[in-house]
Structures are given as C-alpha cells and as structure tokens.
Amino acid sequence: MKALPIILFFTAVSLVSSSLNGQPEMAIGREAVEGQLRFLASDALQGRRTGSPGNEIAAYFIAAQLQSYGYRPAPGLNGYFQDIPFEQGIPPVQASLTIGKTGYQFKEDFVLMTGGAAALPKADAVFAGYGWVDPVINHDDYKALDVKGKVVFVLSGRPDVSDPRAAFNAMGEKRKFASERGAVALIEIYRLPFPWNFFSRYLGGESLRVAESGDSGNSTMVYGWLKEKQGSTEITDLQQGKKLKVALSSSGYVSKPLRSSNVVGILPGTDPVLSKEYILLTAHFDHVGVGKQGGGVTTPTDSIFNGARDNAMGIVALLTAAAALSKERPARSVIVAAVTGEEIGLLGSNYFAEHPPVPLKDIIFNLNTDGAGYNDPSYISIIGWGRTGTNAWIEQSAQAVGLKVFPDPAPEQGLFDRSDNVSFALKGIPCLTFTPGMTSFDDAINKYYHQVADEADSVDMDYLLRFARAFAISARLIANDPVRPKWVEGDKYEKVGKQLYGMED
C-alpha cells in the first residue's frame, strides 16, 4: 500500500515527460545552441570582461535575440538595456603603511581600493568595531567615538550577518559612515574564510564599482584592507584602547566612468490572473577578459579567457528558454535578464534587484543558470535544492531530456551565496541556480574554470543541448504552476520572503 504513491508519482513524471516531447523546447536543435555558444565564447569577444567592447557586443547579440523572439523592452529602461553607472578604478602606483612600529608591504599585506593621494606621516589610529551603523538593530560603532582626522580600523563584515557575502555588500556603506564622520582613512581587517592572495588579487587591481553604491567615488578618504602579520599585536592593542600612530601614504586611486548594461526583455503571460506575476530567468554574460585581467595562467599562444562554460553555456540556456517560451507562452509573465558584472561581485544582478523594472513583490521566482563547468554530463546540478518547493519540476525537466539531478554540489564552497541568485534571495525572492553537471570541485572543473582552456571546442555540444532544454522546461513548468514557489520553513531567507510578499505571521 505504501508503494502506491511512489508508483503514481513516477507515472505522473512519465506522463509529463512524454507530453513535453511536443513542446517548443524539444524543437530547438543542436545547431542553434552550438552556434550561439561558439559566438559568445569566440576570440572576437576577448573574454567578455565587464565594460569591454567584447562585453558590449555580447549584450547587443543577446538583445537582438530577445527582440527576434518577440520580447518587449522592460519599462523605464534604455530599450532592452538597463544601463549601470559603473566606475573603473585604477589603484595607486605607490602606497605604504606603518602601524606603530610594524611596516606593511603594499599589495602583499594590504590593498587600497579608493581614495585620493595621501601623505599622513603621523596620524592617530582608532578602532571602531565593525564600522557599522544601523538604527534597526540599535547598533552604532561610532557612538561617542571621535574619528575626525584619524585612521579608522574596523573588522570585516557586519555585526548582524555572518555570511561572507555581507562583507562585500557592506563596503560602500562603511566608507560612507567613516567619511561622514571625518576619517582620513578606513582600513578593514581581513578575516574572511578564503585565501588572502585570491582576495587581494581580486580587489587590489583595476576594479569596477557602481557609482551610486553608497558613497562618492571621488571621496578623498583612503579605503583599503589589511592582512594582519603573524604574531603582530597592533589590532589587538587598538581593540583594547591602546593609542597608536599610523604612517600612511598613497599616490592616489583614479576612477573614470565605464559603460556596461544588463539586457532585459519581458514576455507577457497568457492567464488573466497569473500574468500579473513574473518568473525571472537570469544568467550572467560577462567573463574575466584577457591576459592579466583574467588572473589565471596564460600560454605563449593563448591569453583569452573565453568563458564557454562560465557562462556562455548559461546564456545559451537562457536564450533557449526565451525562444521556447515565446513559441508557446506560459501562464505567468516572464522576465529574461542577462546580467553583467557577475565576475566582479554580482554587480549587475544586485543593480537589477535594487532597480527592478517591475515591483519586486510581483516576481515570484528567480531561476538562475551559472556554473564553473561540468565533470559528469549525466547530471544537472542544482544549487539551492530543496529550498523552494520546486524539486518535482526540476526532476521532471531533467528526466525529460535523459538527465539526473545532483543536489547542491561542493557545499563547502557556499555556492548558493556566490552566484547572481543571491541578489534576489536577499530581497526575499525564492530562487535557485541551475548548473551543468558538477559533483565536486575537482581537477576536471579546475582545468577549465577561469582558464584559457575554457573554449567552445572543449564543450560537449550534445550535452549543452540537453542542459539548455532542461533549463527551458523547468522555466515553463514553474511559470505554469498555479502554486507559487516559496522558501521552506526555517530557510534563512524565509523571513525576508514573507516580508516581501506580505505574508508575515
């Protein structure tokens, strides 16, 4: 008797799978997906680095596809483009830092990320907790603290959030808090759970930021990060109230505006009621560029980080879904958003979440696709499995194309909070990331992840087709389901989700 529900479940899955054979997803062939991948991952696009000509060409290509499928520009945007006010930062040529009697080497022990030229031979140092101010949680690290004309040292991250992602998202606000109170410099103490060398290379070189992220890009206040030296006591001394002097110099950070945009299209739904709701489909189209921009190893014959897996495969899946859904529109409306700036801190998706073209409460789900690559083409991998009530639809989509589901690979990597989906999770929107078949971060992944070897010729095109079809089918099934996805009870994003949709207890 207990086996009967299982039999009925697999019977239902079989019926859904067979019925999908006649859907537009199955009509899209290998030639279409292979052609798109080869263009997006071609040498001509030079690694699609945010703000580069190759990145802009990719954006125009995606916009042209959406227009050809009949998608409408989103309200309030520049056609299909959501322009983002990026600033490119060029780090100082020279900088030095001494705390007390201990000297620190520029780029090896500390990095500077904003600020004009500085010459502070003997400034007072002060410790200010996390450097955070939030009246909602009744927290003010600057209360009764005089920081005017001083170098302020603070802990990384926020006092109320342990997620490492919060440390990145808090940077702009921290600069603003310190600058408004007259600090001449703000230095965050590096205590994040990944290697300093990765962090310093990632944020210590040329960078991009959104100009309206919370402070003025022209602020003269110096801002940087410091890795404590083993055995040093300066930070502990400051925390305990000991007075120390700081010598800080910098040739100055230079910033200039840079163009890059998200690409957005809307497809109206068919149901009179459900069409007022949106499913948001996302994938990032930027990659890491060429040569030293990429941060990986180049060869004498190849310096282009083509990004076939990361994330041309995702854009192909996104366009496959867009094309299929336009042929037979679902009940709900669909927003397709190809976002930029993922590789430099999820900036494009974060900007979309902060400046949505439709009210966020009308977006009932985000289906994102991204990945470092694949090491088992019999799977799709789902980041966020079991968190939104969508498991059955994802499984049926995979089975329809002869694939299996591998839930949440490499949990030690914290992947859910490292892709564009988290920009929407933080707002309360249920979401997951649909990833090529990865069972772990192994040599098969690292061979291509952010490497010049990640070219179109290395991709299994038959697998790409199945992966893209599975993503498209998932989008259709979720968009047609009258039951809205929601965070499972106890999920860390459940509370903010209830707030977004007016479901507070």
Structural domain contains residue 169: yes
279 vs 484: CA distance, rounded Å: 10
Across 437-451, average pLDDT? 94
99 vs 394: CA distance, rounded Å: 54
Structural domain contains residue 391: yes
Structural domain contains residue 6: no
Q: Which pLDDT belongs to residue 22?
A: 59
Structural domain contains residue 22: yes
| 272-287 residue pLDDT tens | 999 999 999 999 999 9
Torsion angle of C-alpha atoms 257, 259, 262, 268, degrees rounded to 10: 110
Strand partners, 246: 99, 123
Q: Which pLDDT belongs to residue 173?
A: 87
273 and 409 fall within a common domain: yes
488 vs 227: CA distance, rounded Å: 38
Across the chain, what does the average pLDDT equal? Answer: 91
Structural domain contains residue 192: yes
| 108-160 residue pLDDT tens | 999 998 888 999 999 999 999 999 998 878 899 999 899 999 999 999 988 88
Q: What is the amino acid identity at position 234?
A: E
CB 86 within 8 A of CB 210: yes
150 and 123 fall within a common domain: yes
64 and 134 fall within a common domain: no
359 vs 442: CA distance, rounded Å: 41
Q: Which pLDDT belongs to residue 20?
A: 59
Q: Which pLDDT belongs to residue 315?
A: 98
221 and 101 fall within a common domain: yes
Q: What is the CATH number of the domain that holds 193?
A: 3.50.30.30
Band the pLDDT of 214: cuts 50, 70, 90. Answer: very low
Q: What is the pTM of this model?
A: 0.82
CB 271 within 8 A of CB 331: yes
pLDDT at residue 198 tops 50 = yes
pLDDT at residue 15 tops 50 = no
Strand partners, 335: 266, 280
Q: What is the amino acid identity at position 483?
A: V
292 and 405 fall within a common domain: yes
Residue with tokens 């006649």: 22
pLDDT at residue 169 tops 80 = no
Q: Which pLDDT belongs to residue 331?
A: 98
| 473-501 residue pLDDT tens | 999 999 999 999 999 999 999 999 999 99
Q: Choose one of 207, 227, 252: the last residue of a domain.
A: 252
Across 357-363, average pLDDT? 98
238 and 283 fall within a common domain: no
Our count of domains for the chain comes to 2
211 vs 88: CA distance, rounded Å: 9
DSSP readout, 258-278? EEEEEEEEEE--SSTTGGGSE
Angle (CA) 324-327-332 rounded to 5° is 80
pLDDT at residue 101 tops 50 = yes
The tally of CA atoms less than 13 A away on the side-chain side of residue 77 is 24
72 vs 333: CA distance, rounded Å: 11
**Contacts (Cβ under 8 Å, ≥6 apart) of 262:** 81, 82, 84, 337, 338, 339, 340, 348, 351, 352
361 and 338 fall within a common domain: yes
Structural domain contains residue 412: yes
380 vs 320: CA distance, rounded Å: 16
pLDDT at residue 213 tops 70 = no
176 and 64 fall within a common domain: no
Structural domain contains residue 80: yes
197 and 248 fall within a common domain: yes
Residue 352 structural domain: 14-86+259-500
Q: Which pLDDT belongs to residue 7?
A: 39
With CA atoms as reference, report the closest residue to 110 among 186, 209, 178.
186
Residue 292 — φ and ψ, nearest 5°?
Answer: -65, -25
Q: What is the amino acid identity at position 450?
A: H
Q: Choose one of 200, 222, 252: the last residue of a domain.
A: 252
Q: Choose one of 224, 252, 280: the last residue of a domain.
A: 252
Q: What is the CATH number of the domain that holds 297?
A: 3.40.630.10
84 vs 405: CA distance, rounded Å: 36
Band the pLDDT of 165: cuts 50, 70, 90. Answer: low
**Helices 313-327 and 53-69: crossing angle, nearest 10°?**
20
307 vs 329: CA distance, rounded Å: 31
CB 200 within 8 A of CB 224: no
Q: Which pLDDT belongs to residue 206?
A: 75
Band the pLDDT of 91: cuts 50, 70, 90. Answer: confident
Cis ω before 311 (30° cut-off from 0) = yes
CB 489 within 8 A of CB 421: no
With CA atoms as reference, report the closest residue to 356 among 341, 381, 339, 332.
339
Structural domain contains residue 48: yes
Q: Which pLDDT belongs to residue 322?
A: 98
- pLDDT more than 90, % of the chain: 78
51 and 138 fall within a common domain: no
82 and 136 fall within a common domain: no
298 and 416 fall within a common domain: yes
Across 316-344, average pLDDT? 97
Beta-sheet pairing, 151-155 with 118-127: parallel
Q: What is the amino acid identity at position 292?
A: K
Residue with tokens 């210590």: 204
